Every structure is written in C-alpha cells, then in structure tokens.
Amino acid sequence: MNITQFRTLTEQLFNNIEIYLDDYSEEHDIDIDYETNGNVITISFPNSSKIIVNTQEPLYQVWLATSKQGYHFDYIDDQWICSRTNQNFKTVFSDSVAEQSN
C-alpha cells in the first residue's frame, strides 16, 4: 500500500462512518454529533461520551478510541482488521456506537 491508496481507503471509511451515524441517529431517534477535522472524526453522544477515529499515516493504520479502550486497524483482505482482536472495523465501531448511545 502507498500513501495515496491509504488516503483513498480512509476517505471511503470516513464517508461510511458519517453515513452510518446519520442512519443510526435517525433510526434510533438520538442526537449524535460528529465533526471531521482533517484525519480525525470526533463523535459526541448525548451522555457526553465520545468516540474518536483517526488515521495514522506513517503506520497505515486507523485508530479507534472508545470509552472502554483503543483499537488499531490494519487494512487486510479488503477490510480494516484490529491488530489485537482480529475483528473488523465495522463490527467494533457499530458495537461501540450502540453501547455509548445507550
């Protein structure tokens, strides 16, 4: 992977996160705020908890910080996989959103 490929993949991931959050907010009638600033998405929930997603270009990784723990994801076989748990990003992210949004 090169930096151009990494940036394309993370841009797609960030777009998918925003779509997911919009759909989740509407479906569950909850006000989830998010702000994208460069390579960081900050997601704020009504209970004041946050989720942070950011890219680590030198490592070609995506990092996810939740109220419980942090995760580092590598792009393997067309998906972002956690280096510690081997779960894909979508699973960890959606579980974290559900938990933090109550």
Give residues with Cβ within 8 angstroms of 86, minimum separation 6.
none
Query: Which pair of tokens denotes residue 20?
Result: 């997911």
Residue 49's CB is within 10 A of a number of other CB atoms, namely 16
Architecture of domain 3-100: 2-Layer Sandwich (3.30)
Q: Nearest 5°: phi and psi at 65?
A: -115, 125
Residue 102 has pLDDT above 90, yes or no: no
- Taking only the tens place, the pLDDT of each residue in 59-74 is 999 999 999 999 999 9
Q: Which residues pair with 43 in a beta bridge?
A: 34, 51
Q: What is the pLDDT of residues 33-51, one digit of tens each?
A: 999 999 999 999 999 999 9
One-letter amino acid at 24 equals Y
> In this model, does residue 77 exceed pLDDT 90?
yes
Question: What percent of the chain stands above pLDDT 70?
Answer: 100
Average pLDDT over the chain, rounded to whole?
Answer: 96
